[in-house]
């Protein structure tokens, strides 16, 4: 480490917004932060929730990238801007897009500007459920198990299912699609001024967890595998990639155009991208066998283990285990829940219905006052429900819920599954139903922990990251009680962006590896929840009921 000041930028693309941070590479101290909410997404454009279609326009990503970094640079000042050494990016995933031969997303071309199939297919888009089922059935025909490193089950949330669906349903996009690129791979390509899709550096994280890439296969599965699945995929692997890169590798430097747009030097290095939860785990100072749980709209659960411990061991029903996907040199294991914060948001919207549809149109007060009332009440719903739910007496026979409101990611991905609320009576009020929903999300977390343990992978404790972890003591304490495990909450508010900054510091050569960057730039934990041992028996009983209800739901789920 030199005596010169070094600053790095971490960019974190979430489901609703993008956030950039400038941090001091020596300490991890945040100097500036900025957030941009996707304008088209906020308007509900290109999405159809009942049809499970969730698309995002690349222009929202570009606007957010430029706006937030420029804002951070302006806040930090010219001296800091001059000492920025690197930028690294994390994104949601799998969130891929069709690009032309120059690597331009089709939605950025005039003829596709309003076509959802030419846009990024957000991680939670489940329009390809049928294609995922076909991939699973098709893979079973082969002696080589191409699904072995993704838990044995391919999901509709992932790369190949989404590609096949888009190619099938849109002839114009099919004709124009040269390649298929993850969001986390495209942003570094954009920043470095790339003009050839073949030159996009594909991250180990996205390729290994979502696209069936494995060193043991020599890369992606062979063309014959995909051609036999559907002739539409014939030849696509030749337009994709063979090699992948860990996120401690540089994808290049800022192009002259982007350096000027951002007010930074063209010498600034840009790191290979990765998914938000994987970089977030680094930002949250992950340790071997501690489950890093990024809790937002969904959860993404990350565990790292020495490669020697995982030699010959494959964990069934998770979202993959990939060498170097989190910390280069270690195995990264991913699991998660398809709906977490989204479950609470759904219930809030349900309760808000009269506010949005009746109070908003009242004649008693003028429109501005009515809107202020709607906003005030809406903001207080979840905190007040948490307070009231926490005061309820424990009851073995209370309302019971299943958290599969957006399908089930882990264990054993099945996006056809639906959420459920059972045991309702005329006394089932909003706090009681909310408690059941909160409990269900905690039971979903327990199911993930128990799958790891049953497969021979110990889980010593949890590291909580994200909005729910920081803002909901009620849910965090319940999760600790349900799991009978401690949960540490990382002190940094924007942990995924901090993780990206740690990778940027490594890419810049400020640290020799990401572990040293993590140790130097991590600020530790500010809250720890410890389990109430007296509640272990109560939650054991409730969890068994959760499993039984889940089995019933799964046995009776036959269609969309």
pLDDT tens sequence across 62-109: 999 999 999 999 999 999 999 999 999 999 999 999 999 999 999 999
Q: How many CA atoms lie within 13 A of 315 on its CB side?
A: 28
Q: What is the pLDDT of residue 560?
A: 47
Residue 474 CA: distances (Å) to CA of 108, 229, 479, 498, 548: 44, 47, 9, 26, 25
Task: Tell whether the model's pLDDT for residue 39 goes beyond 90.
Answer: yes
Q: What is the pLDDT of residues 325-340, one digit of tens each?
A: 999 999 999 999 999 9
Q: Are 283 and 465 in contact (CB under 8 A)?
A: yes
Angle between helices 430-454 and 367-390 (to 10 degrees): 60
First to last CA, the chain: 56
Q: What is the pLDDT of residue 559?
A: 52
Task: Tell whether the model's pLDDT for residue 482 goes beyond 80.
Answer: yes
Only one residue has tokens 């939860």, namely 277
Q: Kindly indicate the confidence band of residue 297, based on its pLDDT and cuts at 50, 70 and 90.
A: confident
Q: Are 322 and 210 in contact (CB under 8 A)?
A: no
Q: What is the DSSP letter of 201?
A: P
pTM: 0.91
Q: What is the pLDDT of residue 360?
A: 77
Q: Tell me whether residue 534 is exposed, middle or buried, using C-beta atoms within 10 angstroms of its C-beta: 0 to 12, 13 to 18, 19 or more.
A: exposed
Q: What is the pLDDT of residues 115-168, one digit of tens each?
A: 999 999 999 999 999 999 999 999 999 999 999 999 999 999 999 999 999 999
SS (H, E, C) 98-156: EECCCCCEHHHCHHHCCCHHHCEECCCCCCCHHHHHHHHHHHCCCCCCCCHHHCCCCCC
Residue 291 to residue 15: CA distance in whole angstroms? 22
Q: Respond yes or no on whether the N-terminal peptide bond of residue 371 is cis (omega within 30° of 0).
A: no
Q: What is the pLDDT of residues 436-477, one digit of tens each?
A: 999 999 999 999 999 999 999 999 999 999 888 999 999 999
Q: Are 504 and 514 in contact (CB under 8 A)?
A: no
Task: Tell whether the model's pLDDT for residue 229 goes beyond 80.
Answer: yes
Q: What is the pLDDT of residue 363?
A: 85
Portion of the chain with pLDDT greater than 90, in percent: 93
Same CATH topology for 7-283+493-515 and 341-455+464-484+535-555? Answer: yes
CATH number of 7-283+493-515: 3.30.420.40
Sequence-distant (6+) residues with CB within 8 A of 471 are none
Task: Tell whether the model's pLDDT for residue 379 goes beyond 80.
Answer: yes
Domain boundaries, the chain: 7-283+493-515, 341-455+464-484+535-555
3-state secondary structure of 40: helix
Q: What is the pLDDT of residues 380-430, one digit of tens each?
A: 999 999 999 999 999 999 999 999 999 999 999 998 999 999 999 999 999
CATH number of 341-455+464-484+535-555: 3.30.420.40
């Amino acid at each position: 480490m030199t005596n010169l000041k070094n600053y790095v930028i971490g960019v974190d693309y979430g489901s609703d917004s993008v956030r950039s941070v400038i941090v001091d590479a020596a300490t991890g101290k945040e100097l500036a932060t900025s957030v941009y909410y996707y304008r088209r997404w906020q308007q509900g454009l290109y999405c159809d929730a009942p049809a499970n279609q969730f698309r995002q326009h690349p222009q929202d990503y570009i606007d957010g990238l430029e706006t937030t970094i420029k804002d951070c640079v302006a806040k930090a000042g010219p001296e800091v801007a001059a000492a920025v050494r690197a930028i690294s990016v994390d994104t949601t995933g799998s969130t891929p897009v069709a690009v032309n031969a120059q690597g331009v997303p089709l939605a950025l071309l005039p003829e596709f500007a309003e076509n959802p199939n030419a846009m990024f297919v957000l991680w939670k888009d489940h329009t390809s459920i049928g294609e995922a089922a076909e991939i699973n059935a098709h893979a079973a025909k082969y002696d080589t198990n191409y699904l072995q490193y993704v838990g044995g089950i391919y999901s509709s949330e992932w790369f190949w299912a989404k590609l096949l669906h888009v190619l099938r349903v849109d002839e114009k996009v099919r004709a124009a699609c040269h390649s298929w690129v993850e969001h986390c791979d495209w942003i570094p390509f954009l920043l470095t001024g790339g003009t050839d899709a073949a030159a996009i550096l594909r991250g180990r994280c996205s390729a290994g967890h979502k696209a069936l890439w494995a060193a043991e296969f020599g890369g992606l599965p062979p063309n014959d595998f995909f051609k036999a699945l559907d002739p539409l995929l014939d030849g696509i692997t030749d337009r994709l990639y063979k090699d992948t890169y860990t996120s401690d590798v540089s994808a290049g430097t800022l192009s002259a155009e982007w350096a000027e747009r951002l007010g930074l030097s063209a010498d600034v290095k840009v790191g290979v991208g990765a998914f938000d939860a994987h970089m977030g785990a680094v930002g949250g100072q992950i340790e071997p066998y501690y489950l890093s749980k990024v809790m937002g709209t969904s959860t993404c659960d990350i565990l790292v283990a020495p490669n020697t411990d995982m030699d010959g061991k494959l964990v069934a029903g998770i979202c993959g285990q990939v060498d170097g996907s989190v910390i280069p040199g270690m195995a990264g294991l991913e699991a998660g829940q398809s709906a977490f914060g989204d479950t609470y948001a759904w219930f809030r919207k349900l309760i808000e219905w009269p506010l949005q549809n009746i109070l908003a149109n009242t004649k008693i007060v003028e429109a501005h006052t009515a809107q202020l009332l709607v906003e005030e009440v809406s903001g207080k719903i979840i905190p007040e429900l948490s307070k009231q739910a926490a005061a309820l007496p424990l009851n073995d026979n209370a309302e019971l819920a299943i958290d599969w409101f957006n399908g089930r990611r882990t264990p054993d991905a099945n996006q056809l599954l639906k959420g459920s609320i059972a045991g309702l009576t005329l006394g089932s009020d909003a706090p009681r139903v909310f408690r059941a929903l909160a409990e269900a999300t905690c039971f979903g977390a327990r199911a993930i922990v128990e799958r790891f343990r049953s497969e021979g992978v110990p889980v010593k404790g949890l590291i909580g990251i994200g909005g729910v972890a920081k803002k909901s003591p009620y849910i965090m304490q319940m999760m600790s009680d349900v799991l009978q495990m401690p949960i540490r909450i990382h002190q940094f508010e924007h942990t995924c962006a901090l993780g990206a900054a740690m990778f940027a510091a490594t890419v810049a050569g400020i640290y020799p590896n990401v572990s040293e960057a993590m140790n130097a730039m991590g600020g530790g934990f500010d809250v720890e929840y410890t389990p109430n041992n007296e509640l272990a028996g109560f939650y054991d009983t409730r969890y068994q009921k959760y499993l039984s209800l889940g089995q019933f739901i799964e046995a009776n789920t036959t269609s969309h």
